[in-house]
Amino acid sequence: MLSTLTDRSTGQEDKRRLILDAAVRVFARKGYHASRVGDIAEEAGVAHGLLYHYFRSKDELLETIFRETWRDVLDAVRAIEETDESARERLAGVAKILLRAWRRDPDLVRVLVREVTRSSHVQRRVEEIDQAFAGLERIIARGQEDGEFRPDVDPRMVSYVFYGALEEILTGWVLGQLEDGDEQIAAAEQTVIEVVCGGLALDREAAPL
């Protein structure tokens, strides 16, 4: 009985993942608003009724993609936060994970940049966003406490500056405005770290307002 239940649960999760992956491909190819539930079911190779068994609507599919992706980001930030590396090295680790997502799963990045970042009603319902920023804030604050970063800047504000830079680079790749070869991706990681951590260096003083 236990084996049967486990097999059934695994099969259900496989179907659910199949549908989510299909939704990512369809949203990336056609755009969220032009996509139909039928398109996603056809892409996944499942009946419409089965798709509705797992997801109530196209909107729920998009929200689930966003929520689960941010959970992965949050897990990655937590893992990096728990290392013994310097704050600069930790931020570099986060930058690598986010920017190299363009190589790992460009369709997912397209959906996140084109659809989710412009969907405020989805973002308001995802607590993982604030948790990820809180992780970045703790990394920066720890750098300040350890004397690695200057103490006269708000770590929360810096976390938004840092993530905003990464998101804009990803947007540039999605829109074809920036070159995205391996060398350019490595250069982007280095640039963000040099700019952000350079501005946080102890020998930098705040400019008068």
Could you tell me if 152 and 203 lie in one domain? yes
Q: What is the CATH number of the domain that holds 162?
A: 1.10.357.10
CA gap 57, 171 in Å, rounded: 27
The letter for the amino acid at 128 is E
Going residue by residue through the chain, which has 209 residues, state the pLDDT in tens, using 9 for 90 and above: 444 333 444 567 788 999 999 999 999 999 999 999 999 999 999 998 889 999 999 989 998 998 888 888 888 889 999 999 999 999 999 999 999 999 999 999 999 888 866 666 555 656 667 888 899 999 999 999 999 999 999 999 999 999 999 999 999 999 999 999 999 999 999 999 999 999 999 886 655 54
Q: Inter-axis angle of helices 2-30 and 37-44, to 10 degrees?
A: 120
Could you tell me if 100 and 161 lie in one domain? yes
Residue 206's Cβ-side half-sphere holds a number of Cα atoms within 13 Å equal to 8
Domain count along the chain: 2
The letter for the amino acid at 192 is V
Q: Which ranges of 82-154 does DSSP label H, i.e. alpha helix?
A: 87-99, 101-104, 106-111, 120-123, 128-145
Residues spanned by the domain of 10: 1-55
Could you tell me if 179 and 80 lie in one domain? yes
Q: What is the CATH number of the domain that holds 13?
A: 1.10.10.60
Question: Whole-prediction pTM value?
Answer: 0.84
141: tokens are 């604050």
Could you tell me if 166 and 190 lie in one domain? yes
